Amino acid sequence: MAGRGWRTPSRRRGTTGLAPLPSTAKPFQLTPDTGGRDNPVGVLVLHGITGTPHSVRAWGEYLGAAGLAVSCPLLPGHGTRWQDLAATGWRDWYRAADDAFAELHARCSSVFVMGLSMGATLALRLAEEHGVQVAGVVTVNPTLGTDRRGTSLIPYVATVLPSVGASPAGGRLWGPKYSDIKAPGTQDIGYDRFSLRAFASLRQLWAVTLPDLHRIVCPVLTFRSVTDHVVEPSSGRRLLAGVTHAPITEQLLHDSYHVATLDNDKERIFAGSLRFVRRPPTASASVPAAVPATPDSDGSPDRPATNRLL
């Protein structure tokens, strides 16, 4: 198991011992033909930890078909083998996201950032750091912490147990449930082992992102699966409580698990994201352009602009 890379529906392997990266899992950019008119609206789409752009490709292609410029990088340490992920950390993942954002911002009239799971966390961090340069944020099952006991010991455990297997049942040790998707016959493409060193770095990303949520000044739309075997509902509550200087709306997904962008509610996410991008300007434009950084340290209807712990 130690040498195994990422899992795909096919187990055929190339000469390197790793299955070749499928085309759907590769990074992509979609540039609309504007006919020489104004620069298009840009969207940065980010995949989650252990995953690849495969999980968000259909989302990006939907937005691209609507005339938006879309960019989706393959985050460092992903798309090869889990040992490569172990050699990276949240600063590497964030730097790649930040570089992609800068490229879009240089050629687009405005830029939205969107992401799944850890990719959603990176999107939130971009909004914290770039202020009004981010036009809006869309998150799908963002991860901002965990209630699982013992996770504070991960940095120490990682020195003797480098990785854990993705659990088919969910919740075994700290490994994610591989392809946590409700739709029959649908699989994600990603690692089938989870580097505990990478998980320790993810905890550091939580530690810098969570206390700075108040710095976000653009509208936020967040989708949360009612049943998620990877990210607990407390992450959603943390997000609603932390965004205090911008409007935030939570929409619950009742027919999808964690990888909702490939699941039964995907069309709702895609259409909702496009409506969010095309919405008229809101009163949020009057929010202060910068908020100081914090020192380091169910069945309900949609919930609009609550900004509080529910």
**Which of the residues are catalytic?**
117, 228, 258
- Three-state SS for the chain is CCCCEEECCCCCCCCCCCCCCCHHHCCEEECCCCCCCCCCEEEEEECCCCCCCHHHHHHHHHHHHCCCEEEECCCCCCCCEHHHHHCCCHHHHHHHHHHHHHHHHHHCCEEEEEEECHHHHHHHHHHHHHHHHEEEEEEECCCCCCCCCCHHHHHHHCCCCCEEECECCCCCCCCCECCCCCCCCCCCCEECEEEHHHHHHHHHHHHHHHHHHHHCCCCEEEEEECCCCCCCHHHHHHHHHHCCCCCEEEEEECCCCCCHHHCCCHHHHHHHHHHHHHCCCCHHHHCCCCCCCCCCCCCCCCEECCCCCC
Enter the tokens of residue 211. Answer: 């206390």
Give dist(CA 170, CA 178) in Å, integer. Answer: 8
What's phi and psi for 32, nearest 5 deg?
-75, 155
Residues near 131 by beta carbon (within 8 Å), at least 6 away in sequence? 215, 217, 289, 290, 291
